[in-house]
Structure 1
Amino acid sequence: MGGTAGEAAPGARQRFDLPGVDAFTAPYWRAAAAGRLLIRRCRAEGCGAAHHYPREFCPYCWSEDVGWEEADGRATLYTWSVVHRNDLPPFDTRVPYVAAVVELAEGPRMMTEITGCPPEALRVGMELRVAFRPEGGTGAERAEAEGETEAEEGARERGRERERGSTPEPVVPVFRPAPGRRG
């Protein structure tokens, strides 16, 4: 979503997982840092469609009258793939992980990662809830399956601080099984 956040300092490992933050996407990343998932919704009469990934126009009616809206964080699993090999940092240290497409309760589909659930327990249509991982999240943070992790709690606190500040550092939305639905 724009920018050059993945560029590395000389001698550092280049990161390919960091989204770029620009003026258009900054509200999305600020909300994520505060533990909120935003989508875009068309405000044109007769349309009203929600969409994700964020665009400055409606992909259904082409109206430029679109705005940010908070999603409630519920989704169902549409499809997934377990990634066992990825040579790009930091993915090389995260394997295996579950790359997925979820269908948000508001309608749009979103690419994400599934955490807190063994791959063999995944089922199409299973209920999921959004969680948030700081870009520097560790494997241990991602493996937490119960309640709000320390990483999410820290992300929310940093998000409240950043909402008062300027450019946010990326906190990435991921999904995990809904309470009572763990594998």
Structure 2
Amino acid sequence: MTTATRKIMAPRLHPETEQYWKAATEGRLLVKKCAACGEFHYYPRAICPYCLSDKTEWIQSSGRGQVYSYSAMGKEDAAYTLAYVTLDEGVTMLTNIVDCDASSLHVGLGVKVVFKPSDGGPPVPMFTPA
């Protein structure tokens, strides 16, 4: 699947995720880690979803993980693959699998982050087989 013919909507930007999208522009994937309870979390937000602490910090992810689940959608030029990817840091994120044939995908497949341009906004993290 490629994103060459598929328009990627620009993400909504707001102060809470500004550093996340700035890092994406630099080709880096960030996740949040809570300094109070030690848990990583995604989608990045200021308050820890586990202990409700506001003591969270940005951590650079390895950008590597495994496919937890996926679904190939659409046909031909409109085809894309949605997936849940569990990062090496332990968080699971909803994303797209790109630049591969959907028939080669399987649960447990190792993947790495790639950043795809959005329509007028920062690049969006997606994944491709590692």
Same-fold status (TM-score > 0.5): yes
- Is this contact kept in 1: 2:70–2:84, CA < 8 A? yes
> Percent of aligned pairs with the same residue?
40
Task: Identify the residue that residue 124 of structure 2 maps to in structure 1.
Answer: 172
1:24: how far off? 1.5
Give the alignment partner of residue 42 of structure 1, picking from 2, 15, 34.
34
Provide the rounded CA distance (Å) in 2 between the counterparts of 1:126 and 1:16: 24
Give the alignment partner of residue 99 of structure 1, picking from 82, 85, 88.
82
Q: Which has the higher strand share?
A: 2
Residues 81-123 of structure 1: CA deviation (Å, up to 9, x unaligned): 11117xxxxxxx9511001110000000001110122111101
Give the alignment partner of residue 119 of structure 1, picking from 95, 102, 126.
102
Provide the rounded CA distance (Å) in 2 between the counterparts of 1:38 and 1:109: 13
- Is this contact kept in 2: 1:29–1:169, CA < 8 A? no
Distance of aligned partners of 1:172 and 1:16 in 2 relative to their CA distance in 1, 3 Å threshold = closer
How many residue pairs end up in the alignment? 124
TM-score by length of 2: 0.89
Provide the rounded CA distance (Å) in 1 between the counterparts of 2:77 and 2:70: 16
Gap regions ≥5 residues in structure 1:
1-14, 86-92, 137-167, 179-183
CA-atom RMSD, angstroms? Answer: 1.9
Residue 20 of structure 2 aligns to a residue whose secondary structure is helix
Task: Identify the residue that residue 79 of structure 1 maps to in structure 2.
Answer: 69
Structure possessing the higher radius of gyration over alpha carbons:
1
Aligned amino acid, residue 50 of structure 1: F
Provide the rounded CA distance (Å) in 2 between the counterparts of 1:122 and 1:16: 22
Q: Which has the higher helix share?
A: 1
Task: Identify the residue that residue 69 of structure 1 maps to in structure 2.
Answer: 59
- Is this contact kept in 2: 1:100–1:114, CA < 8 A? yes
- Is this contact kept in 2: 1:39–1:51, CA < 8 A? yes
Residue 62 of structure 1 aligns to a residue whose secondary structure is coil
Residue 25 of structure 1 aligns to a residue whose secondary structure is helix
Is 1:19 aligned to residue 11 of structure 2? yes
Aligned amino acid, residue 33 of structure 1: T
1:64: how far off? 1.0
Deviating beyond 6 angstroms after TM superposition, the runs of 4 or more aligned structure 1 residues are: none
1:17: how far off? 2.3
